[in-house]
């Protein structure tokens, strides 16, 4: 299997499984990833997903350049999920945590940016080599990266093609945190399990609100939040909110201890 799935209660771990090719995004791998993410989106018991790459060398090195040499560059601008792994990830309404175990290069960098949260091992490295390869990004990197780490830092990475190490990526806000390689999956799964304890409908609606607002101007985003909040909060039961407030307080005490 080019993409494997491990289900552990409400958490699914999805692994891009071509370690001998640095988990390059072949046509077959992209199709399997799209199918897996669609299936997980429809599984009620799965509440959060961890996405990683097999081995320790690469999260994914991006599109399979050998295939591109034969088939052309259509995949770089594909809009359907079967060919575009960013669309494949985005079709999953549940939170997706990227466990960046090695290099995420060019198209692989774009796949990482499609995840909702990124945790990296000390082996994680990022590079945007579009300018050096001579291909314009078509999966969102040119717009997402600048919004995440700032326009001048994004230009530094994209125009030079230089690698960004894990600690610097964390300092720049690309990675949420860096952990030892042997703790990466455990840390990602623990965060996924924490998310899974919240109401799944609320989590999915909140994720959608953040994502949709992120694509708008600040004023438009505020208006979107007000509209969604007004509609949702009018349906909330006051007694249920109080019960959940008490549960939140108890959880806080447990985490502090």
Give the chain's domains with CATH numbers.
3-196 (3.90.226.10), 216-256 (no CATH)
Going by their DSSP bridges, the two strands 164-165 and 125-127 should be labelled as antiparallel
For the chain, helix, strand, coil in percent to 5 are 55, 15, 30
How far apart, in whole angstroms, are the C-alpha atoms of residue 120 and residue 136?
26
The SS3 call for residue 43 is coil
Task: Give the model's pLDDT for residue 217.
Answer: 95
How far apart, in whole angstroms, are the C-alpha atoms of residue 33 and residue 40?
11
CB burial string 141-180: b at 16+ within 10 A, e below? bbebbbeebeeebbeebbeeeeebebebbbebebbeebbe
- In angstroms and rounded to an integer, the radius of gyration of the C-alpha atoms of the chain is 19
> Going along 145-242, which residue ranges are E strands?
164-165, 177-179
Q: Are 85 and 114 spatial neighbours (Cβ–Cβ below 8 Å)? A: yes
Q: Nearest 5°: phi and psi at 236? A: -80, 135
Task: Give the model's pLDDT for residue 257.
Answer: 58
Task: Give the model's pLDDT for residue 233.
Answer: 85
Q: State whether the Cα torsion 25-28-34-37 is positive or negative.
A: negative
Task: Give the model's pLDDT for residue 73.
Answer: 59
- 257 residues of the chain, pLDDT tens digit each: 999 999 999 999 999 999 999 999 999 999 999 999 999 999 999 999 999 999 999 999 998 877 765 565 566 678 799 999 999 999 999 999 999 999 999 999 999 999 999 999 999 999 999 999 888 999 999 999 999 999 999 999 999 999 999 999 999 999 999 999 999 999 999 999 999 999 999 999 999 999 999 999 999 999 999 999 999 888 877 777 676 666 667 667 677 65
The two structure tokens encoding residue 255: 């985490």
* Residues, the chain: 257
Q: Nearest 5°: phi and psi at 50? A: -110, 130
The two structure tokens encoding residue 53: 């790459």
Please give the helix or strand (H or E) that residue 239 lies within, else none: helix 238-256
DSSP 64-128: -HHHHHHH-SGGGG--STTT-HHHHHHT--S-EEEEE-SEEETHHHHHHHHSSEEEEETT-EEE-
């Amino acid at each position: 299997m080019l993409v494997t799935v491990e289900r552990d209660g409400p958490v699914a771990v999805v692994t891009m499984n071509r370690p001998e090719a640095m988990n390059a995004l072949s046509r077959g791998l992209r199709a399997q990833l799209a199918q897996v993410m669609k299936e997980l989106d429809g599984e009620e018991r799965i509440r959060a997903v961890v996405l990683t790459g097999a081995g320790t060398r690469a999260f994914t090195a991006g599109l399979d350049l050998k295939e591109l040499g034969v088939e052309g560059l259509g995949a770089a601008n594909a809009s359907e999920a079967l060919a575009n792994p960013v669309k494949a990830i985005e079709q999953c309404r549940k939170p997706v945590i990227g466990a960046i175990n090695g290099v995420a290069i060019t198209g692989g960098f774009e796949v990482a940016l499609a995840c909702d949260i990124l945790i990296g091992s000390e082996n994680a490295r990022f590079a945007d080599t579009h300018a050096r390869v001579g291909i314009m990004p078509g999966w969102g990197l040119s717009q997402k990266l600048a919004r995440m780490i700032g326009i001048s830092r994004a230009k530094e990475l994209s125009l030079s093609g230089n690698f960004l190490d894990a600690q610097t990526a964390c300092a720049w806000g690309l990675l949420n945190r860096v952990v030892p390689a042997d703790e990466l999956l455990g840390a990602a799964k623990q965060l996924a399990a924490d998310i899974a304890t919240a109401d799944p409908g609320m989590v999915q609606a909140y994720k959608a609100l953040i994502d949709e607002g992120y694509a708008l101007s600040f004023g438009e985003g505020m208006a979107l939040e007000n509209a969604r909040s007004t509609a949702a909060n009018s349906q909330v039961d006051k007694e249920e909110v109080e019960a959940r407030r008490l549960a939140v307080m108890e959880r806080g005490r447990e985490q502090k201890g």
